[in-house]
Amino acid sequence: MSTIQSNSKIGIGILGVGNIAELCSKGYLQDDRCKVVAVCDVNEDKAKRKAEKWGIKQVYTDIDEFLNDSSIDAVEILTPTHMHKNHVAAAASAKKHISCQKPIATSIPDSIDMIQAAREVDVTFRINECFYHFPPLVEARNLIQQGKIGIPQQIRIHTLVGQTDSDFQVGMDPDGYGWRFSDASPGGHIFDDMVHKIAISQWLVGQKIVSLKSSVRRQHTFFEPFVSLLEYEDGNLLGILDSVYGHNLWMNSSYYGADEFVEITGDEGFIWVTRCTGELLDFPPLSIFEGDKDKRAFKHIDTINADWGAGFELSSKHFLDSLIDESILPEMTPDDATNVLQICFGIYQAAVTGNSVDPRTIDNFVISPGGYP
């Protein structure tokens, strides 16, 4: 991949200033190695408001004019998922480096086309996965790699979705969700949010999922309570991925009304991560039990930054690192993101057919068992 000279500031362009833009832009706005030089959105008033708030002079409503701006070296694509294919292809054609919001696309062929478009012009293309940079999860992964709990035997990731009255949630623009409730999206909550948890279900343990079974329901149009049983390359490693929706359950959160609970059990101990998106429980964000025969120890690790927003800021930093140093590869490559999309569709397919599914065989897309949201 081509890199950017470290003695010059990297020009960042933000494409799409919807609900997630505030979190995804913060890291760039704070990093001295780059400068956010332009924003682009079809809603000119919204784009101007964001630009004024962020101290950015250049505002575009036309993507071609935006991508023709020579001061832009890299783009952060925050547009709806069904637009990713065209926007990534356009950015690649303009020879801009690319960071794109998850999920990568709405189908596997679209994802493959996007990857090819970036490779043909040798630009960096990564998917912005904030959970890969959330400090408690990063430390949990480090502990697993260090062998602190022995060989992983099981991973469980539980997501609880409820209600919150955080300033962040209250400030969401309802118009930003419209496309999610149409045939522009092949699924609901699993496609929109659980792809984060699908991603870390492999990333934490360094193992690919090779088979899964699942049951999926639909509640309140968008939410998809489900349970999925996962089998990994290492036949001794199993996983459980699930989500539940409590529409009358209010929780503490600085962000969305949701929280995650992660448990990784090895043959010598286990790790808990009890805070991600929200702050539902008053527990330390990370705990580890090392079950040595002669010395058994349970330790809380509460000195780690457990602000979910830190994952977004550190993700932006990592993208800049990869643009400056070619030896640093993006944490989530587009190939990784395509595999995550296959697993998402595999969950839907297993629920529809009642059979085990090898997600690596998914070559197009699968609609949620409840139909389009």
User: For the residues 5-22, what does the mean pLDDT come to?
Assistant: 90
Q: What is the DSSP code (8-state) at residue 302? A: -
- At residue 7, the pLDDT reads 64
pTM listed for this prediction = 0.96
- For the chain, state the CA radius of gyration: 20
pLDDT digits (tens, 9 = 90+) for 315-331: 999 999 999 998 999 99
Q: Is the pLDDT of residue 119 over 80?
A: yes
- Of 64, 121, 72, 71, nearest to 95 by C-alpha is 121
Backbone angles phi, psi at 13, to 5 degrees: -115, 135
Q: Which H or E element spans position 242?
A: strand 238-250
What domains appear along the chain, each with residue ranges and CATH number?
Answer: 10-127 (3.40.50.720), 132-310+342-353 (3.30.360.10)
Q: Which H or E element spans position 58?
A: strand 58-60
User: For the residues 187-213, what does the mean pLDDT come to?
Assistant: 98
pLDDT band of 1, cuts 50, 70, 90: low
Q: Is the pLDDT of residue 3 over 80?
A: no
pLDDT digits (tens, 9 = 90+) for 236-285: 999 999 999 999 999 999 999 999 999 999 999 999 999 999 999 988 99
